[in-house]
């Protein structure tokens, strides 16, 4: 690659300006919002790939991709343009960008008083590089150790990315080490950087080619400490955003890439899964037996994710093929689950093995990605054989896929799809994709296929049930996947270390704009979890949006809630507590969709003023009100918890004791313990009917009031609808607002509601913590805690 140095000014437009770099390349700056700029390089004046599927500020992107020159969806506000000596300056009320010579950018952020503070700067030496005979590109920034860097999706190890190097390449990493393995399943080339004085900024590189991020790991005597983004191919096209807080930068990234899908309420219930059932010769019997065992052990469950063994011929998997020896009556199987109030999701894969019954027909239709050197389908290793990957940039492939999802699954009573093994490990980078009529080499868009595959499944499900919100699960991912599906951290390895570092991995996804996430509870690959580890994993998993126990244990055993009779009561208690939290969880899910709020959050996201919250920890927030301090070490008899300085203090959910924030406390724990603290000043809606997660089963409700200690005010809200309607959030919902006003002598709760939806409960039980003795008034009237308030 060669350094890009010299530039001359070409033109200013309504949205920005264009420079000519080294006499041949176009370097463009676009002001998209007051705190969102876009920087792009057109080599020799043209794009390497003139489309993107990641950018969707309106929530949608065309199947064929959005043209990179399309700026619709942005306000493109006015800006001040100045020439200052040999530099150019673009200024909005929130950001100032200076372009210096040789080519390098400096960013300043508003100080709120009319001035600007230094925020970030390109490396002064060789900030931009481009391949001479290929399409590699690179961007280098100055590295400041005091800046804290997060993001990059589901990366292993600590949440903070400083001092490390990461690769962006989607990979099927079964049994990975959650502390060190890299790369993993998703390609999310986004970082959020928190500076000590100037707020936080986001950097999103809109390029799906393989790349590396170096966050101050590399040393070079000629350049000093630096950050680097290096891409093997594609366009250098990045978005720079700023906000006073990390939270607002994260919300901007979620909006920029299209927001979050709104699945049904029942998806927040427990979801069972294991490969063992569908790999058994009597798969249907074992699957139906799971339903009966849930009832026998009084374990609430709302869905089951059916692994791919139902498609097997021998030991291999063949998508859309029913093995009628294992599952002789798919419709009866689906009905058995449906009658029990459970929903079935079926595993599907985007690669057809070379001896697949449909392979020759699909090849004849031209639905596979093509080999780079012939007109034959590409061949790649896949599930103990070789196969060819479906080309979802071909409209005919999309139609074929949707037809098969409908006829082979949905018509059999399967309601949802589990889009799996879609990392597209095609290492012939020049393999040819249809590209919706404009061919693209697969190396430019490999991570895109998980998104397009899932979108095709999404549309098939929506067309089959047009009045219901679809639910999909997908493992691999690219920016924008969250518009269609829930995801998880892939095939983790069973260990205490995985339990600990999966927490950071999930928070990394949240900070990258992926909110509806979770993990394989109990561990997927390796040994079966010992009883203590299994209990602790469940106790952690219930506080994540996706709560699924899934496994493929080395010894053939299955991770099930009742796998260890001696701890089954503890597993049951944890899962049933998950169901108690459903009103709160559903409110958080809706806030993720409507307000772009992360569901699970590092403690610093709501407490940036508290330096202790930036220390590495396994504690995390569920919404802004619950602090989860699960036990992640074996044999623990006590747990040290740092309570963030929130200005109001924290209530121990279980004991009713109040603690001031900004301090570390040590609490005793047993195997039954699930340390949980509630922000003082909030009202927590809890469900008292704990057998199902659908709205119709939500027939009893408690409002747990956690008042400020002494004087203070607080406001909480709760969102409700029918839990499934496609348009419920537009015209059939209910939002309840709970306002607390506390003095040293009294607690006053005011309740108001708006919206047409009528909940299925007819009264509210209102409680206070055990340690609270002040009298309570509700809507101006004295109220005895524990009594019921009749619904108006």
Region at 89 (left for phi over 0; alpha for psi -120 to 50; beta for the rest) = beta
Q: Strand 351-353 vs strand 312-313: parallel, antiparallel, or unpaired?
A: unpaired
Q: Check: CB of residue 516 under 8 Å from CB of residue 260.
A: yes
**Torsion 769-773-777-783 (CA) sign:** positive
Residue 730's pLDDT band, with cuts at 50, 70 and 90, is confident
pLDDT at 634: 98
What is the third-level CATH fold of 262-348+516-579? Answer: TIM Barrel (3.20.20)
Rounded mean pLDDT of 150-158? 98
Record the pTM.
0.97
Residue 589's pLDDT band, with cuts at 50, 70 and 90, is very high
Within this chain, domains 262-348+516-579 and 349-481 share the same CATH topology: yes
| Residues 672-681 pLDDT 10s | 999 999 999 9
Q: Check: CB of residue 701 under 8 Å from CB of residue 690.
A: no
Tokens standing for 388? 């060819």
Residue 771's pLDDT band, with cuts at 50, 70 and 90, is confident
CA 232 distance to own-chain centroid: 26
- At residue 578, does pLDDT exceed 80? yes
Contacts 24+ apart (CB under 8 A), 770-773: 770/655, 770/656, 770/657, 771/651, 771/655, 771/656, 771/657, 771/658, 772/656, 772/658, 772/707, 772/747
- At residue 49, does pLDDT exceed 70? yes
Tell whether omega for the bond before 102 is within 30 degrees of 0, i.e. cis. Answer: yes
Tokens standing for 556? 């053939």
Q: Check: CB of residue 194 under 8 Å from CB of residue 242.
A: no
Sequence spans of domains, the chain? 2-252, 262-348+516-579, 349-481, 600-790
pLDDT at 269: 98
pLDDT at 792: 60
Taking the CB of residue 47, how many other CB atoms lie within 10 A of it? Answer: 18
For residues 28 and 237, what is the distance between their CA atoms, to the nearest angstrom? Answer: 9
pLDDT at 689: 84
3-state secondary structure of 730: helix
For residues 664 and 401, what is the distance between their CA atoms, to the nearest angstrom? Answer: 54
Residues 6+ apart with CB under 8 A from 117: 108, 109, 110, 111, 197, 198
Residue 131's pLDDT band, with cuts at 50, 70 and 90, is very high
Q: Check: CB of residue 356 under 8 Å from CB of residue 314.
A: no
pLDDT at 408: 98
Residue listed under structure tokens 């899908």: 261
pLDDT at 226: 97
Rounded mean pLDDT of 355-380? 97
| Residues 399-432 pLDDT 10s | 999 999 999 999 999 999 999 999 999 999 999 9
pLDDT at 277: 96
Measure Cα distances from 508 to 631, 640, 668 in Å. 20, 23, 29
pLDDT at 170: 96
For residues 507 and 540, what is the distance between their CA atoms, to the nearest angstrom? Answer: 13
CATH architecture of 600-790: Sandwich (2.60)
For residues 129 and 4, what is the distance between their CA atoms, to the nearest angstrom? Answer: 6
CATH superfamily of the domain spanning 2-252:
glycosyl hydrolase (family 31) (2.60.40.1760)
Residue listed under structure tokens 């920034």: 141
Residues 6+ apart with CB under 8 A from 753: 734, 735, 736, 737
* Percent of the chain whose pLDDT exceeds 70: 100
Q: What is the DSSP code (8-state) at residue 371?
A: P
Mean pLDDT of the chain, nearest integer: 97
CA atoms within 13 A on the CB side of 292: 8
CATH architecture of 349-481: Alpha-Beta Barrel (3.20)
For residues 275 and 536, what is the distance between their CA atoms, to the nearest angstrom? Answer: 22
| Residues 671-709 pLDDT 10s | 999 999 999 999 999 999 889 999 999 999 999 999 999
Measure Cα distances from 548 to 98, 268, 542, 578, 612 in Å. 49, 10, 9, 12, 32
- At residue 267, does pLDDT exceed 70? yes
pLDDT at 729: 79
pLDDT at 339: 97
Rounded mean pLDDT of 187-215? 98
Residues 6+ apart with CB under 8 A from 394: 366, 367, 433, 434, 436
Residues 6+ apart with CB under 8 A from 692: 266, 269, 300, 302, 341, 579
For residues 675 and 687, what is the distance between their CA atoms, to the nearest angstrom? Answer: 20
For residues 270 and 341, what is the distance between their CA atoms, to the nearest angstrom? Answer: 12
For residues 474 and 482, what is the distance between their CA atoms, to the nearest angstrom? Answer: 9
């Amino acid at each position: 690659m060669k350094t890009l140095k010299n530039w001359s000014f070409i033109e200013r437009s309504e949205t920005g300006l264009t420079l000519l770099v080294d006499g041949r390349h176009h370097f463009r700056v676009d002001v998209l919002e007051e705190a969102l700029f876009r920087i792009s390089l057109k080599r020799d004046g043209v794009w390497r790939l003139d489309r993107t599927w990641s950018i969707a500020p309106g929530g949608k992107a065309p199947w064929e991709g959005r043209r990179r020159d399309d700026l619709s969806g942005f306000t493109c506000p006015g800006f001040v343009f100045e020439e200052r000596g040999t530099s150019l300056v673009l200024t909005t009320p929130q950001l100032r960008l200076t372009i210096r010579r040789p080519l390098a950018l400096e960013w300043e952020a508003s100080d709120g008083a009319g001035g600007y503070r230094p925020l970030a700067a390109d490396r002064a030496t060789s900030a931009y590089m481009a391949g001479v005979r290929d399409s590699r590109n690179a961007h280098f920034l100055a590295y400041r150790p005091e800046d804290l860097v997060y993001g990059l999706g589901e990366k292993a190890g600590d949440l903070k990315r400083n001092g490390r190097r990461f690769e962006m390449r989607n990979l099927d990493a079964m049994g990975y080490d959650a502390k060190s393995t890299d790369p993993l399943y998703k390609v999310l080339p986004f970082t959020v950087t928190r500076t000590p004085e100037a707020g936080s900024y986001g950097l999103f590189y809109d390029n799906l080619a393989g790349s590396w991020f170096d966050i101050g790991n590399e040393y070079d005597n000629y350049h000093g400490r630096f950050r680097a983004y290096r891409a093997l191919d594609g366009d250098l096209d990045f978005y720079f955003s700023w906000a006073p807080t990390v939270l607002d930068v994260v919300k901007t990234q979620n909006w920029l890439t299209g927001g979050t899908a709104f699945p049904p309420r029942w998806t927040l219930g427990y979801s069972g899964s294991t490969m063992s059932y569908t790999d058994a010769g009597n798969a249907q019997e074992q699957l139906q037996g799971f339903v009966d065992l849930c009832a026998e052990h009084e374990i609430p469950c709302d869905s089951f994710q059916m692994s791919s063994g139902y498609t097997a011929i021998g030991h291999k998997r063949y998508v859309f093929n029913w093995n009628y020896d294992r599952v002789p009556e798919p419709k009866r199987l689906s009905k058995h689950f449906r009658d029990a109030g459970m929903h079935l999701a079926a595993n599907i894969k985007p690669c057809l093995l070379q001896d697949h019954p449909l392979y020759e027909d699909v090849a004849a239709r031209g639905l596979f990605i093509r080999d780079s050197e012939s007109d034959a389908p590409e061949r790649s290793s896949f599930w103990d054989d070789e196969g060819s990957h479906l080309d979802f940039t071909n409209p005919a492939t999309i139609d074929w896929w949707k037809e098969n999802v409908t006829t082979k699954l949905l018509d059999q009573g399967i309601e949802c799809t589990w889009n799996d093994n879609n990392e597209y490990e095609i290492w012939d980078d020049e393999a040819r994709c249809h590209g919706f009529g404009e061919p693209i080499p697969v190396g430019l868009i490999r991570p895109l296929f998980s998104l397009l595959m899932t979108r095709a499944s999404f549309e098939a499900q929506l067309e089959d049930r047009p009045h219901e919100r679809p639910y999909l699960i997908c493992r691999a991912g690219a920016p924008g996947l969250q518009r269609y599906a829930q995801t998880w951290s892939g095939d983790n390895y069973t260990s205490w270390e995985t339990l600990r570092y999966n927490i950071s991995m999930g928070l990394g996804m949240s900070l990258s704009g992926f909110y509806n996430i979770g993990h394989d509870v109990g561990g997927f690959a390796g040994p079966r979890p010992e009883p203590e580890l299994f209990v602790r994993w469940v106790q952690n998993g219930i506080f994540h949006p996706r709560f699924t126990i899934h496994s493929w244990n080395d010894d053939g055993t299955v991770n099930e809630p009742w796998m260890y009779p001696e701890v089954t009561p503890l597993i049951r208690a944890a899962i049933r507590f998950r169901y108690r939290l459903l009103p709160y969880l559903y409110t958080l899910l809706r806030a993720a969709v409507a307000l772009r709020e992360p569901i699970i959050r590092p403690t610093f996201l709501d407490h940036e003023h508290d330096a202790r919250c930036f220390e590495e920890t396994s504690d995390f927030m569920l919404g802004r009100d619950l602090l989860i301090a699960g036990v992640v070490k074996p044999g623990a008899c006590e747990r040290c918890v740092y309570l963030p300085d929130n200005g109001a203090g924290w209530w121990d959910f279980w004991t009713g004791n109040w603690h001031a924030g900004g301090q570390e406390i040590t609490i005793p724990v047993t195997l039954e313990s699930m340390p949980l603290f509630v922000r003082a000043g909030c009202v927590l809606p809890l469900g008292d009917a704990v057998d199902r997660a659908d709205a119709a089963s939500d027939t009893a409700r408690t409002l747990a009031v956690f008042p400020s200690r002494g004087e203070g005010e607080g406001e909480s809200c709760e969102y409700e609808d029918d839990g499934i309607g496609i348009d419920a959030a537009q015209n059939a919902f209910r939002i309840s607002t709970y306002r607390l006003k506390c003095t040293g002598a009294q607690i006053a709760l005011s309740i108001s509601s708006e919206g047409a939806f009528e909940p299925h409960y007819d009264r509210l039980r209102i409680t206070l913590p055990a340690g609270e003795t002040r009298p309570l008034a509700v809507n101006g009237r004295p109220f005895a805690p524990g009594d019921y308030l009749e619904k108006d």
